[in-house]
Each structure stands twice: as C-alpha cells, then as structure tokens.
A and B are shown apart, each in its own frame.
Chain A
Amino acid sequence: MTIHKQLREQLATYRDLSKAERAALKRRLTDDPAGAELLAAYEAMDRRLADLADPRPDPALRRDFYAALQGEGAQGQAGWFGRRLGGVYAAAGQLAAAAALIILVVGAAALFRQQSEFAASGSPVPISTGRPTKAATGTPIGTAAPVRFPAATPTYAVIVPPDAPFAPFHRWASQWPQHTGMTHGALRAGLKTYLLDHGGVEALLDPAVMGELKAALEGHLPAPGAGLQLADVYPGGELELVVAVLPFVDVVGEDEEGVLHITGLGNPEYWPVENTFPTAVQVEDVVAFDGQPEIQVFYSFVDGRHTFQEYLIAKWDPARTYWREVLRAPLLGVEEDVSYVNVDRDRESGNTAVSITCRAVGPWETSLLREDLYVWDGDDFMLWIIGRDEPADQRQYLGLAEARLRSGQIGGAAEMYRALYQGEVTLPAPNEQIDWQVIAAMRAGQLYTLLDQPEEAEAALAQASLRGSPLGQWAGRFSEAYRDADDAAAAWAALVAMKRAEIENDDAIDAGNRYLASFANDTVVPMALAAALQSRDVINPAAPSDLLGIWAEYDLAAEVGQGRVEDLDYDGANEVIVTLPTPGGQAPVWLLDRGEDGWFTTLLGLHHNVNAPLTAPQLGPNGDFQVMAVGDEYVGWNGRYPFYYSEMADWEGNWRLSAQPEHRCYLPADDLFAVAEFDPRDGETAVTPNGPTPGERTPTPTPLSGTP
C-alpha cells in the first residue's frame, strides 16, 4: 500500500511531532495498519540505533588536539593554553608534566592542513607546460605501492624526440594513403628474401643497402625514409630491423590494417593495430636503462568522429616472450597542430617520466588540454599527475560539470550548473545561438531532483522556464511532473515521453537549442533509468528482472534493449549495464552505478548493433576486476570512469597478460585526479600516484560483509 508523502514524513520524524500532532497521528493510524506498522518499525529502528555502542577515540586525541592548538600559534594565548592543558588534565585526574605535553604534532597537523588546502582548492590547476618543480603533495591513494626514488639526486636529461624520422605528424583522414596493393604476407616475405640475399640484417648497416631498401618501400612508409631502424630489440646481441609500414587500405575501408613488423631472421613478432596509421617509430632504450631498447610508436587513428594520435612504448618481455605495451597514451582528441611528449630519464636510477599533453574530448563536445605524467616504477608506467586547462567558456565549464555527473558526483555537478545560471561563474558564451544559461538551469533542476532537494530543484527549473525557449518549456513541464508525482523518477519518465514525442521533431526546436536536443537524446533515458532506481531505493540489484519491473512502472522498460547486472569493479555492489537502442539502429551501452550521491550513469560505448548480445563479463588483467565486451573493445569500470582494453593478438595469443588499459584522453572531473607537483630529483620524498590506475596496482577488494 502506498503511503502518502505527508504521512511518510510524519512517521519518519515522529519524535518532532507536537502533542497535538501525535494525537492526530495516533487516531489516523488506527485505520491504517500499514502506517502503524511503519511507525513501529521506525521506533524499533531508533531503539537499535540509540543502543549502538559508540566507538571512542584513543586518549591521545585530546593531547594532540591541544598541542595542535599551540602549534597553530594562538598568539598571546600560549600561556593560556599551557594553563588550560594543566587544568584539563588535572580535572581529568591525569597527571602530566606540562613540558611533556607540549608535543607539537607538526607532521600530522601539517599533513592535514595540506589535505584541507587541497580540499579547498576546487578549481583545476592550469596545465604546466614545463617540468614539474615542487615536491609531491596530495592524498595517498588506497594501498597503491608508493614509488620511492633513490636517495641520490640524479641529473635529468630531457630527451626530445628527434625531428626526423621520429617526429609525429598529424594526418587528416582525407589525406590518408591510398591502397598500395601489398599484403602483410607479401611484405614480410619480401623483407626476408631481401635480407637473406644481402647476408642478413647487418648488411643494412651499409647506408647504400639501407637506402635501396627504403627506396623499394617508397610509398609504404609513413614518410620518406621513415619507419626503418636497426636495433638489438631482442636481447641476444644480434641486430633486428624495425619496419613501420602504412596501412594497406584506406582508413575508411576494410580488413587489413597497419602493422609493425619486426624481422630478425628469427621469430617475427607483430601486433596489428586497427584503423591505424603509424606516423613515426623510434627504437631506443627509453625506460629502465637495462640495455634493452623499447619501441616507441606514434600513430593516428580514427573512431568515426575524431582523429586521434597515440604514443606507445612496447617493451620486450623475455619471461613472457612477447612484446608488452608499457605505455599507451592518447595525444590528441581533435584536430590540433601540436602534440607534446617529453621524456625525462634518470640514467642512474633508470627512472623515466613521460609527460604527455592531449586534448580531452568530453560531454558537450568539450575539449580542454590535459597533461598526464607517466612514471616508470621499475615494472610499469604509473599514471601520476593530471593537469587540465581552466575552462575558457561556458561550454567547457558545462562539459566539466557533466563529466562530474558521469563519475557519480551528482552534487558537485549540480553545484557547478547552479553556479553558472546564478551568475557566480562568468565566462563567455562560445556560441551566441545556444542559451547556455537555460541548459545550466535545466540541468541543475534535474540533478536536484535526484538529490532530494525539491526546493532547489523548483528554483532552478523555474529559472529555466522563465527563459521562454522550448527547453524552458520542457523545464516547466518537468517541474510540473515532479510536483504532481513528488517523485524524481516520474518527472524523468515524463521527460522521456516528451523526448519521444517532441525532441526528435526538429521543427519544435529552435536553432539555439538544437544542440541541446541532441544531447538530451543522449542522456535523458539512462538518467531516467537511474532516477527510477534511486526513487525505489534500490541498493544492490540482483537480476535484471528486478529492474524491469521498476522501469515498467515508469513506462521506461521499452527503452531498454538488453541488460545485465554485474559487479565489474568487485566492490561488492552490482552495477547495471544496459543497451538503449536508438531509432537509427545504434546500440549505445550505458552503465548505472550507485555512488555516494545516489544512482548515476555513464556511457561505456557503442555496441555493434541492437541485436548483438551483451555477453557476460570476463576477468580483467590481474583478476582484480571484470571487463565487458562493448563493440570491439573490453571495458572495465573502477567506480568513477570506464577504462578500455583492445584485444591484442600476441605471439601466444594471450591478450590478457599483454593488454594495457588505455588512458583515453577524456575529460576528468575535478577530484578524480589530484594534481600533485612532482620533483623526481627529491630522493627523500615517498610519493604515491594520484590517478586511479585500474587493474595493475589495485588490491583485491574485499566484499562488503554481509553482502551476497
């Protein structure tokens, strides 16, 4: 039986009722067994909670607090605090020599002050384009192993990639090479024959022989003379030839892809990277300084909408006898003239730090420069620092807000949207036709409904509807639905119904809000699904069938194609993964998870088609989490953002050991990544990586006690 909202709230706060209100409630409940049962349950709940034993702090807390007060340097009060300490301890019956009590716990206080400063710093730190200079600060992350630099103060030499042939260059899709007619097999066979004819790889040390080979491969190399290098890439003292060739077909085509051949008259190793275009290859001992050169590759590829560049370092792993990607970092998300990679190496310790600038593309088509720092810890590159440009306009600001929302920070996102529409954030509007204010007000209103803040929601939606645009009208109707049903999910479901009827009708949308319409299409359905789970207080769903019933109540079930309930991040609570087929035949895959602010949703990717099955997850690398096949990729989830693996066919076909997570250049929400200033020359600072590193360094999570 449904209990009316007013009664629910009375029951939930029964202790605050006046005498008259209690009497009225009592009378009412005589005819309302469900209400009476609820009240009894709440009374029992309060008794149990009241009976809950409170943990006590250790006695040193008092001592440390007063010492910290002294440390804060209350001027003129040091004497007073000294007296106070004596008085307190005397009153408590504890004896303590005054001198012994003056223990300045500077370390703990200082650490906490740093944390407070960090917490107060809400806005992102602008990207540093130079080398980081300060000692590391920031909050240690979980149980990730700290990286300790040697006590010696090494001298870093900045290694700048040579201009030619290694400098990466950007190619537009329209400029990609034509089909050459050469197959992989033919190239490999031709190279082997050529090398055998000339007496082996060492023959290429003769510039004339090398020149002849380059000429023969003209048109297949990324640039004239580029893509060929001699190095001892397999340990053993013999030279091998590293060849980078262009894809054999046009990028918009077909089945054969660009390959990197490594031929040394021994076992050839290669890995195909689909839809790629290697632009530069360099063999060099980049990490560890163990005499074993790594292969650095820059390559471009397209995903149908954007052109990307990536920087890859592959290291030969003799134990596993295959090439292991130790770093694969995105460089650029959209058209850009500059990519920036800086490799700093310490020859004494073998430590290498690679800083990479990329352009992050996020929600709202926002793009901001992002800087990552990868540091070699002896076994892997750890993602250390991320910096990000400040938003320069309202769209970029809203993109950051939406990124927060997609990582579960509903409150943080709502706050950002509110700050924009209430004028606390003053940034220019990049497109005068788009009303960013109404978008921000609408979004704030939507999010406040999810946060159970009806007054704030109404205020924001009212502001949106004042603008008079079609979006403003939707805000008004959303607000009405919320008021009538007193249920956020009902309001969201009404928005889905509006979307079905109206948003797809272009005539109903003016130019200023056409942009939002396409965006609204993207997110309104998954957010409505999440709102339904929130409204029904779903904590840990067990099966999709449980959820379909809830969604059916809100007339949302028909939006869902397929669904799974899985614990991808092994945190003991299941996530929900659904496909939401579009009229255009696409099958976007969304993940719903329950965070501190409630259920939220984020896009995982595009599945092959609406009929392709959403298969069960597989164990990810290291077994600490699961990954789901979405389209051609495997997607993991760490509770805040998805991370991706491409299947790699190596010599043993064992992609799980060789796969590395792809740190896509997406737009990070502010506190997903702590910006730490880092000086590798500080040998005494124990530092820990700040960014979440999926898989490799995470401990095996322990399930919640009592959770099935």
Chain B
Amino acid sequence: MRSSVMTKLTPAEAQADRVAVLFEQYHQAIFAYLYRLVNDAEWARDLTQETFLQVHRTRDRLEAVDNERAWVYRIASNLAFNALKRRRRFAWLPWRDGDAQRAPQLVGDDPARRVAQQRRVAEALAALTPTYRAPLLLYSRYDFSVREVASALEISEGAVKTRLYRAREMFRQAYEQDE
C-alpha cells in the first residue's frame, strides 16, 4: 500500500518502503498461518511482529529474493518452529477459537452448520504436528506451489511431496474420526 505522498526515496528508504509493503500485504495472512501453527492468538501476534521485524533487519537481501512471499513465510515458519520447540508440553492449553477476531461469514450460509464444519476442519488440522501442518496449510490453504513450500520450509521438493501425502492422510484420519 503505497503512500500517496510522492517523495524521492533514498535507497535505504526504498528498502524500508518495501518492508512496509510486505507488511501490509502479508501480515494478516502470516498471522493466520502462525495462529494455525502455534494455536495461540497472542503468541501468533508476537511472532507476526517478529517476522516482519526480521524482514526489516534483513531487508538488504530483498533485492536477491526471487519469491518474497515464500521468503516471508520462511522467516515466519522458522520463528514458529523454534518457538514451538521451547514450548513445555505440560503447559498445553486447549485450542481456542475465540482468541482471534473472526473473519466475516459468507452471506447466505447456515451459520451453525458452517461453524461446526469449520471447527471440525480446525480440529483435524490441530491433530497434526507442526511438521505436517505447515506444508498442508501452505499448499492447500494458501495456494503455495510445491516449490514455494520447499522454499518456505527449507526442505527439498521431494520432502514436501512426502510430507503433503502424510499430512493429507493424517488430516483425513482425524477428520473422519469426528464423523
């Protein structure tokens, strides 16, 4: 989202401008992605902020990045995985839908049925470990290609395909368990 104020930017300002553009473009999606990974709104919020702070700190690499979206998701994924590793299991908390603001529902939909369906999907997703949840989210929810998923998660394309297959099977199993 560019400022309507036209000024000549210095190279440093241009970089910073690019950071802001990336923030405006992706921060909501990154928040949603992180929320699905760590299952906590406040944590996701902190990680989102840190993601873009990292983007800012490494902005001098922006020129060389060929896929900015994958790059931002890579930073977010690494932060989330590192944070999850430090999480203590005995502090497990139930996943709370109500922590984050809800997106508006589709007009004309049956709200109760849709909520129930969404909950089932979300619970099935939560049954996956982050290792498998991340590629499934990126591929199926956020429309990443296999190559982009590999770039975001810093694994080979072969590993992406294998994990996607496993993730889909685990998701299916968890989803069908609720039937």
Interface residues of A (CB under 8 A from B): 8-9, 11-13, 15-16, 41-42, 45-46, 48-58, 61-62, 64-66, 68-69, 72, 74, 76-77, 80-81, 83-84, 86-88, 90-92, 108-109, 112, 115-116, 118-119, 139, 141-144, 409, 411-412, 451-455, 537, 539, 569, 571-572, 594-598, 638-640, 671, 674, 692, 694, 698-699, 701-702, 704-706
Give Cα A698 to B46, complex, Å. Answer: 25
26 A-B pairs with CB atoms under 8 Å apart are A12-B168, A41-B168, A41-B172, A45-B171, A49-B121, A49-B141, A50-B141, A53-B118, A54-B32, A56-B100, A68-B53, A69-B16, A74-B16, A77-B12, A88-B24, A92-B1, A108-B46, A112-B49, A141-B88, A455-B158, A594-B129, A596-B84, A597-B131, A671-B86, A694-B90, A698-B90
Q: Does B140 sit at the interface, judged by CB under 8 A?
A: yes
Give Cα A571 to B88, complex, Å. Answer: 12
Q: Mark interface residues in B72-114 (1 if CB within 8 Å of A CB, else 0).
A: 0000000000111110111111110001111101000000000
Within the complex, the shortest CB–CB distance from A508 to chain B, in Å, comes to 34
A64 and B162 contacting across the interface, CB-CB below 8 Å = no
- Residues of chain A lying within 8 A (CB to CB) of residue B136: 49
Q: Which of B122, B125, B140 contacts A46 (CB 8 A)?
A: B140
Contact (A142, B91) CB under 8 Å given A9-B165, A54-B29, A88-B1: yes
- Residues of chain B lying within 8 A (CB to CB) of residue A119: 82-83, 86
Within 8 A of A (CB), among B106-161: 117-118, 121-123, 125-127, 129-131, 136-137, 139-141, 145-146, 155-156, 158-161
- Residues of chain A lying within 8 A (CB to CB) of residue B5: 83, 86-87
A83 and B7 contacting across the interface, CB-CB below 8 Å = yes
Contact (A61, B122) CB under 8 Å given A9-B161, A55-B103: no
- Residues of chain A lying within 8 A (CB to CB) of residue B159: 452-455
A-B interface, 9 closest residue pairs, ranked by CB to CB distance from nearest: A142-B91, A87-B3, A55-B100, A639-B89, A54-B32, A12-B165, A9-B161, A57-B31, A53-B103
Q: Which of B7, B27, B35, B166 contacts A65 (CB 8 A)?
A: B27
Q: Mark interface residues in B21-59 (1 if CB within 8 Å of A CB, else 0).
A: 001100111011001000001001110111011001100
Give Cα A235 to B26, complex, Å. Answer: 66
Q: Which of A46, A76, A84, A671 contacts B85 (CB 8 A)?
A: A671
Within the complex, the shortest CB–CB distance from A566 to chain B, in Å, comes to 16
Q: Which of A58, A116, A597, A706 contacts B45 (CB 8 A)?
A: A58
Interface size class of B (residues with CB under 8 A): 35 or more
Give Cα A399 to B41, complex, Å. Answer: 37
Q: Does B62 sit at the interface, judged by CB under 8 A?
A: no
Q: Which of B85, B126, B158 contacts A596 (CB 8 A)?
A: B85
- Residues of chain A lying within 8 A (CB to CB) of residue B66: none
A692 and B32 contacting across the interface, CB-CB below 8 Å = no
Q: Which of B13, B137, B163 contacts A80 (CB 8 A)?
A: B13
CB closest residue in chain A, given B16: A77
B28 and A57 contacting across the interface, CB-CB below 8 Å = yes
B28 and A705 contacting across the interface, CB-CB below 8 Å = no
- Residues of chain A lying within 8 A (CB to CB) of residue B174: 539
Q: Does B63 sit at the interface, judged by CB under 8 A?
A: no
Within the complex, the shortest CB–CB distance from B112 to chain A, in Å, comes to 14
Give Cα A595 to B131, complex, Å. Answer: 10
- Residues of chain A lying within 8 A (CB to CB) of residue B7: 83
B88 and A142 contacting across the interface, CB-CB below 8 Å = yes
- Residues of chain A lying within 8 A (CB to CB) of residue B163: 452
Residue among A64, A69, A571, A671 facing the most chain B CB atoms (10 A cut-off):
A69
B162 and A454 contacting across the interface, CB-CB below 8 Å = yes
Give Cα A49 to B136, complex, Å. Answer: 9
